[in-house]
Structure 1
Amino acid sequence: MNKREIGNKGEAMAASFLENKGIVILERNYQNRFGEIDIIAREGNTLLFIEVKYRKDDRFGYPLESVGYFKQQKIRKLARYYLNEKHYFTHSIRFDCIGIMGEKIDWIKGAFY
């Protein structure tokens, strides 16, 4: 599998996991000129911007370690653009991360602000 196929597998696992928790998936792989957000979802009146990181094993470190400051800044910028584009002015927002290692899924709610 290439990197894109591996990423798609991880995102599909994350989306299924979230749906089983009652989360409504609004968008997958949302793209604009600033980049891509893996999953945009809704939990009640809160919009979730979710970064998904998948690793087969810990040889290259824990998946969530790769969501650093600059990646967070990029996601914030993408989220602002999305909110304006879709006219979501009254929703609260939250930035979550999902780390998948093998079959184990860790969901960090409010991973950054």
Structure 2
Amino acid sequence: MNKRKIGSLGEDMAVKFLKSRGVKILERNYQNRFGEIDIIAREDNTLLFIEVKYRKNESFGYPLEAVDFKKRQKIKNMASFFLNENHYFNMNIRFDCIGIMGSNIDWVKGAFY
């Protein structure tokens, strides 16, 4: 299976997990000139920008270790573009990460600011 297909399976797992917790999914694989955000969602009055990382096992490290400084900056830039493009002003926002190792899901709320 290629990386894109594996990533999509991880994102599918994350979406199912989030929906089961009452989170409304607004966008998947949102793209702009800065890159891509895996999931944009809403929880109560907060807009969530969620990065999903999947690993079958730990041979390539833990999933959340892959969300480094450069990746966080890219997500922040993309989020700013999304907020302006969709006229979300005065909205609470949060940057979350979901790490999936096999079938274990770890949701880190407010993973970075």
Specify the alignment match of 2:89 in structure 1: 89
- Match of 1:90, SS? coil
Cα drift, residue 90 of structure 1: 2.1
CA distance in 2, matches of 1:98, 1:9: 13
Specify the alignment match of 1:108 in structure 2: 108
Structure 1 position 23 matched with structure 2 position 23 = yes
CA distance in 2, matches of 1:48, 1:16: 15
Cα drift, residue 12 of structure 1: 0.4
CA distance in 2, matches of 1:14, 1:39: 9
Cα drift, residue 91 of structure 1: 1.1
CA distance in 2, matches of 1:33, 1:77: 10
Q: Number of aligned pairs?
A: 113
One-letter code aligned to 2:10:
G
CA distance in 1, matches of 2:11, 2:104: 13
Specify the alignment match of 1:98 in structure 2: 98
| TM-score computed with the length of structure 1 as normaliser | 0.99
CA distance in 2, matches of 1:62, 1:93: 26
Structure 1 ranges of 4+ moved more than 4 A = none
- Equivalent residues in 2 for 1:1-12, closer than 5 Å: 1-12=1-12
Q: What RMSD in Å do the two structures reach over aligned CA positions?
A: 0.4
Identity rate of aligned residues, in percent? Answer: 71
Specify the alignment match of 2:71 in structure 1: 71
CA distance in 2, matches of 1:78, 1:94: 13
